[in-house]
Amino acid sequence: MKNLTERGKEVLSPVLGRYFADFEVDKGEGCYLFGLDGKKYLDFSSGIAVCVIGHAHPNVVAAAQAQTAKLIHICIGIASYEPYIKLAEELAEIAPFKDAQVFLCQSGSEAVEAAIKLARYSSKKTGLAALRGGFHGRTLGALSLTTSKMKYRDGYEPLVPDVHIVDPDLAKIEQLFKQGGIAGIILEPITGEGGYRVQSKELIQGIRKLCDKYNVLLIADEIQSGFGRTGKWFAIEHFGVIPDIICMAKGIASGFPLGGIMAPAALMAKWSPGSHGGTYGGNPVCCAAAIATIKTIKQEKLIDKAAESGRYLSSKLKELQAAQPKIKEVRGLGLMIGVDFGESNMVKKVINECLANGLVIIPTGADGTVIRFIPPLIVSREEIDKALKIFAQAVSHA
Ligand SMILES: Cc1ncc(COP(=O)(O)O)c(C=O)c1O
């Protein structure tokens, strides 16, 4: 009988990139995945920074099941329903600015689309800026802002006009803003697909000042770094900077497809009814899962736990680096940690040996030279130690 990998080769588009040749999964629970090979895997990928409270958390399962039995879909354009409104209230409470209002969609890329549409629409300017090396998604608008890997753009040009990719350099950003016509600048406080590089406080604070000076909206892409992963609700909070728009997805709903943006009511007031929208945005079941996720993060104090576990994991990885020159750098915030090998073959060997020994870790960076550690925030000390042991052994063999 053919396995999933073989069946997939026949019916799936080859466009789908894969980190592993034939990893086949049956179910997930907490920090573990259960393979079709009968093996139990410690998951330090969290489905690419999505399952912040672990796989199939009972609170999320119960909330989604109850909502499924009650109302799966109606569309917010047709009727208001409790989960959309309640989630917006919960998000407004954790927003880093006052009077936050919310627009919901289905994915990170769509959240970025919403943010740039709001920026253009509200400012009546067309220019958009993004930092070089950033990743903001794969839809054509979001892709126009993405430069973490040029492969993502190859074959799709021309992209959206009046998009300016700028070096993370304040003088160059000011030069661009000075020319006028820039509606907004988007940035990741810590790059996700771009290799887990933490931006400097000086840069982020400097960009905020330039945005105020030239009347440009600051859009924080928190799609990978949000929902407690870095030890704060949103990574931008580490920088003492308040953005104008926040893009959210991934960790928001424990794996249910949900994205969204938040902005202060004064800015949202400039977005006319009907000028943006969608059929599924803020689906009731996804919203119920998101509400349960946020409640669980609060109840289980997972933001503090992420900060503490991140400090521990990071210090252990730095100890390993001191003993192991193959590791060039360990960097990150909270439980969003990158281990840079400066070389992709070694990374491939390490992640494959880790998988064979029951640990799921995935690469990042323009050339896949960095391994990211993004376990669920519920990860225990014992699980971290177990992962470190498997990782250290794989590094020594690479
Ligand atoms: C920072 C960032 N922005 C946007 C996206 C796009 O999100 P999605 O894959 O849900 O469209 C991602 C996905 O990895 C991301 O990490």
Tokens encoding 66: 């109850």
Low-confidence residues of the chain: pLDDT under 70: none
Looking at the chain, the domain(s) classified CATH 3.90.1150.10 span 4-53+301-397
- Which pLDDT does position 367 carry in this prediction? 95
Q: How far apart are the first and last CA of the chain?
A: 34
Mean of pLDDT over the chain: 98
Tokens encoding 70: 């009650």
Distance between Cα 223 and ligand 1 center (Å) = 6
**Which of 384, 394, 393 is CA-nearest to residue 31?**
384
Per CATH, the number for 4-53+301-397 is 3.90.1150.10
- Which pLDDT does position 278 carry in this prediction? 97
Could you write out the DSSP letters of every residue in 105-159? ESSHHHHHHHHHHHHHHHHT--EEEEETT----SSHHHHHT--S-GGGTTT--S-
Q: pLDDT of 316-359, one tens digit each? A: 999 999 999 999 999 999 999 999 999 999 999 999 999 999 99
- Which pLDDT does position 227 carry in this prediction? 98
- Which pLDDT does position 161 carry in this prediction? 98
Mutate to test the pocket of ligand 1, among 110, 188, 250, 286 (most ligand atoms within 8 A of CB): 250
Q: Which numbered atom of ligand 1 lies nearest the CA of 109?
A: 11
Q: The pTM is what? A: 0.98
Q: pLDDT of 208-261, one tens digit each? A: 999 999 999 999 999 999 999 999 999 999 999 999 999 999 999 999 999 999
- Which pLDDT does position 235 carry in this prediction? 98
Q: Which numbered atom of ligand 1 lies nearest the CA of 250?
A: 10
- Which pLDDT does position 213 carry in this prediction? 98
- Which pLDDT does position 369 carry in this prediction? 98
- Which pLDDT does position 50 carry in this prediction? 98
- Which pLDDT does position 105 carry in this prediction? 98
CB-based pocket (< 6 A), ligand 1: 48, 107-109, 112, 135-137, 188, 192-193, 221, 223-224, 249
Angle between helices 201-214 and 170-178 (to 10 degrees): 10
Cα-based distances in Å from 69 to 15, 63, 65, 73, 284? 36, 10, 6, 11, 11
CATH architecture of 58-299: 3-Layer(aba) Sandwich (3.40)
Looking at the chain, the domain(s) classified CATH 3.40.640.10 span 58-299
